[in-house]
């Protein structure tokens, strides 16, 4: 298969695509892939590091208020459509997959106009503006949350889950040891992170709660985010940190470590949801309030309704509420087991395989 993938800006658009590509190359080794992203997105590092050829375009989003910048946005979109048509003519893909972000709008629109088979993958429970726009042009739509189904033309929709789930599930037997961080393998570990860049409110809450975490019988691994690590270390300069607590800037190779986590505190992004449901990890979800249509709250609610997670919104987040929920889960093995089972029942451990079937279905429709 010759697959052209487009999605950019955030890891939530990139990692599912990479997971799908990894699985596709396992089952169809002769697959050739070209990734089209933005000039400034995370894909500029992540995609080449994965050994995948990358083409980039300059894109920007629409401003919600009247602005001359929107004129520039339209110009960039039209220019990118023109560029995308040339890339498509040169690469000659069998199918084009969009995973979100403004760049995928231009690429999939161009592909549809060229009568190339097209598929979009919506990772969230609330459909993004780009995928809403594309839904009238593409052949197939794959979703990760049932809540997204009603927001698309029904005849095009297939529930597949998030390919990241299958990638993470494949590492469920990881031999990772907590001794890497100076922690113990026979003590339950609570992992706390707010994403690769960190989350200021989560960070401050953990700093405030840290004297109490020192007293707990469970362990805490707290990732501040790379760019916020120095600031947090300054705040903790006069705070004694117990042997059961480790503060790090970033957690590399998350899929290898997640199977060893007793519980997780994190945002409610689509990738995180895919990971915790694939592995069955009890989670305290703190949705980001800075996302379109508050979609992380809706992502979290899908788990909360099934008793697979608890949610603390940022306006209710402080040291007291965090400690209350952390203790409730970490000090109750039976509850953790029930939450883990509920989370795993929501997982889609073969999501990548299902998405591959949708890609082939789109190709077959054009034959």
CA distances to 95, 97, 106 from 32, rounded to whole Å, are 11, 13, 21
The dihedral region occupied by 219, where left means phi > 0, alpha psi between -120 and 50, and beta the remainder, is: beta
* Helices and strands (H and E) in the chain: how many: 14, 13
Q: What is the spatial distance between Cα 269 and Cα 153, in angstroms, rounded to a whole number?
A: 24
Asked if residue 155 lies in contact with residue 176, where contact means CB atoms within 8 angstroms, the answer is no
132/242 Cα distance (integer angstroms): 49
Residue 204 annotated as binding site: no
196 in a labelled binding site: yes
Side-chain half-sphere CA neighbours of 199 within 13 A:
22
Consult the annotation and say whether 296 binds a ligand.
yes
Question: Which residues line the annotated binding site for UDP-N-acetyl-alpha-D-glucosamine?
Answer: 10-12, 124, 196, 251, 296
Question: Which residues line the annotated binding site?
Answer: 10-12, 124, 196, 251, 296
């Amino acid at each position: 298969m010759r697959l052209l993938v487009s999605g950019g800006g955030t890891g939530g658009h990139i990692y599912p695509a990479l997971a799908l590509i990894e699985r596709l190359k396992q089952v169809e080794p002769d697959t050739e892939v070209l990734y089209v992203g933005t000039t400034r997105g995370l894909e500029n590092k992540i995609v080449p590091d994965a050994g995948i050829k990358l083409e980039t375009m300059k894109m920007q989003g629409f401003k919600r208020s009247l602005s001359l910048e929107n004129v520039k946005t339209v110009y960039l979109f039209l220019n990118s459509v023109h560029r995308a048509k040339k890339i498509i003519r040169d690469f000659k893909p069998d199918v084009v997959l969009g995973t979100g972000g403004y760049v995928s709008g231009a690429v999939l629109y161009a592909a549809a106009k060229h009568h190339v088979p097209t598929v979009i993958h919506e990772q969230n429970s609330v459909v993004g503006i780009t995928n809403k726009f594309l839904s009238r042009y593409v052949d197939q739509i794959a979703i990760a949350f049932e809540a997204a189904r009603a927001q698309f033309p029904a005849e095009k929709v297939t529930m597949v889950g998030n390919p990241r789930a299958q990638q993470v599930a494949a590492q469920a037997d990881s031999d990772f040891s907590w001794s890497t961080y100076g922690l113990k393998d026979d003590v339950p570990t609570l992992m706390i992170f707010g994403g690769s860049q960190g989350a200021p409110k989560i960070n401050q809450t953990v700093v405030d709660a840290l004297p109490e975490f020192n007293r707990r019988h469970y362990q805490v691994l707290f990732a501040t985010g790379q760019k916020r690590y120095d600031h947090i270390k300054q705040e903790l300069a006069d705070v004694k940190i117990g042997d059961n607590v480790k503060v790090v800037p970033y957690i590399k190779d998350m899929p290898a470590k997640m199977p060893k986590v007793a519980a997780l505190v994190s945002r409610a992004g689509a990738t995180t949801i895919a990971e915790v449901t694939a592995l069955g990890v009890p989670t305290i979800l703190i949705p980001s309030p800075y996302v379109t249509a508050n979609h992380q709250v809706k992502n979290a609610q899908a788990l909360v309704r099934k008793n697979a997670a608890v949610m603390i919104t940022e306006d209710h987040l402080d040291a007291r509420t965090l400690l209350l929920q952390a203790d409730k889960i970490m000090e109750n093995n039976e509850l953790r087991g029930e939450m883990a089972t509920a989370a795993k029942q929501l997982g889609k451990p073969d999501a990548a395989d299902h998405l591959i079937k949708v890609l082939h279905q789109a190709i077959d429709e054009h034959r």
